[in-house]
Chain A
């Protein structure tokens, strides 16, 4: 029961309190890409969740060996990218063989869907905070759901902004970034933070 509680606590923390996009600002480029392709969102969130969970479980016993290394800032990302590579190759051939329709949908973007900042960030944060296995898995799943949640929130806002009279020089990336900043500030306050004085 304690493990279940720990799992859900970490998942909700990653989903709301430490949202991958609004709090950590990880995966924003990928998020902007997905806001224009809402039909692909569920597939990508599921893939992100699967890769994060499997890579987190495989990487967990290995990362302990390099925690205290002087080069941990390089070795831990290298370890996780190597693990993600193994997971990617396995996913590539499994999807190609058993889900050829899905493979066609992904095409060349399968690699980009696996190797992106959201996936690596979901693995590096639990590692840098030295979370145990249950928390690592819970955090990874929460981060993936949080990423999907952020795509929906930002995508909805950007759609509404298209109907607003935005000054010419602010159209496109500028207004999207300012909107993301304000949403991020709102989240910062919502979870109980206070601005430093």
Chain B
């Protein structure tokens, strides 16, 4: 029974990659992507930073969170998130030495985003550390897919390059501005709804009533 419950929990975690994508379905961490994710490299750096923040904080919340007094919990999560910026800084530095300069304040804002601060105290504390780790990985994967696709699209249309290599003459630099980030994310969220709608549709239509549609 417990093993089955655990298995279901792991299965549900996978939903964070697509059908419950943290950005496009749950509407979290939008600002950092709309403003900071303007190139593929930025997308990868933000994804690494998010992974390094989310997984340790959720595991910490699951293992120790319940034992801490209410007023101290959130302080610990926030400080741990901010401390995880240091390994992220070193790892992302291998992509480009100036990546944190080009991202500005946006990697730091990931440290106080909804998942490490709110999700950790609302959900992760009630989970086993292994499930919390899988949840963190899946949430980060969902974030990474969105960040990488958005960053690649904006770099390609904005400067005709990918990962800094020029591959086309296209140049529409306005696509790198925050408002385009919101609009593109809106269309990506609509695509997710469309795919979910297509997947769900055959189940919803009673057999034999397809002609009436």
A181 touches B105 (CB 8 A): no
Q: State in angstroms the CA–CA spacing of A146 and B82 once bound together.
A: 26
Judged by a CB distance under 8 angstroms, whether B16 is at the interface is no
Judged by a CB distance under 8 angstroms, whether A53 is at the interface is no
Judged by a CB distance under 8 angstroms, whether A156 is at the interface is no
Judged by a CB distance under 8 angstroms, whether B63 is at the interface is no
Minimal Cβ-Cβ distance residue in A for B28: A29
> What chain B residues lie within 8 Å of A173 (beta carbons)?
24-27, 186, 189
B181 touches A25 (CB 8 A): yes
Q: State in angstroms the CA–CA spacing of A78 and B84 once bound together.
A: 10
Tell me the minimal C-beta distance from A97 to chain B in angstroms: 12
Given the interface pairs A77-B111, A112-B117, A112-B118, the reply to whether A180 lies near B75 with Cβ below 8 Å is no
Minimal Cβ-Cβ distance residue in A for B21: A173
B75 touches A28 (CB 8 A): no
The B104-124 residues at the A interface (CB cut-off 8 A) are: 104-105, 107-109, 111-114, 117-118, 121
Minimal Cβ-Cβ distance residue in B for A170: B190
B31 touches A29 (CB 8 A): yes
Tell me the minimal C-beta distance from A89 to chain B in angstroms: 6
Judged by a CB distance under 8 angstroms, whether A111 is at the interface is yes
Q: State in angstroms the CA–CA spacing of A93 and B112 once bound together.
A: 22
Q: State in angstroms the CA–CA spacing of A184 and B70 once bound together.
A: 37
Judged by a CB distance under 8 angstroms, whether A98 is at the interface is no
Interface flags, B111-145, vs A, CB<8A=1, else 0: 11110011001000000000000000000000000
Tell me the minimal C-beta distance from A80 to chain B in angstroms: 8
Judged by a CB distance under 8 angstroms, whether B10 is at the interface is no
B78 touches A115 (CB 8 A): yes
Interface flags, A102-141, vs B, CB<8A=1, else 0: 0000001001100111011100110010000000000000
Judged by a CB distance under 8 angstroms, whether B96 is at the interface is no
The B4-58 residues at the A interface (CB cut-off 8 A) are: 24-32, 34-35
Tell me the minimal C-beta distance from B19 to chain A in angstroms: 13
Interface size on B, residues (CB 8 A): 56
Interface of B is mostly: helix
> What chain A residues lie within 8 Å of B173 (beta carbons)?
196
Judged by a CB distance under 8 angstroms, whether B182 is at the interface is yes
A74 touches B89 (CB 8 A): yes
B183 touches A120 (CB 8 A): no
Given the interface pairs A74-B89, A117-B109, A120-B112, the reply to whether A177 lies near B186 with Cβ below 8 Å is yes
> What chain B residues lie within 8 Å of A181 (beta carbons)?
179-183, 186
Judged by a CB distance under 8 angstroms, whether A157 is at the interface is no
Tell me the minimal C-beta distance from A81 to chain B in angstroms: 4
A185 touches B71 (CB 8 A): no
> What chain A residues lie within 8 Å of B101 (beta carbons)?
73
Judged by a CB distance under 8 angstroms, whether B170 is at the interface is no
Q: State in angstroms the CA–CA spacing of A33 and B202 once bound together.
A: 33
A168 touches B30 (CB 8 A): no
| 7 intermolecular pairs with C-beta atoms under 8 Å apart | A24-B35, A25-B182, A32-B27, A168-B193, A171-B193, A174-B186, A177-B189
Q: Give me the interface of B with A, judged by CB distance under 8 Å.
A: 24-32, 34-35, 70-71, 73-75, 78-79, 81-83, 85-86, 89, 100-101, 104-105, 107-109, 111-114, 117-118, 121, 173-174, 177-183, 185-187, 189-191, 193-194, 197
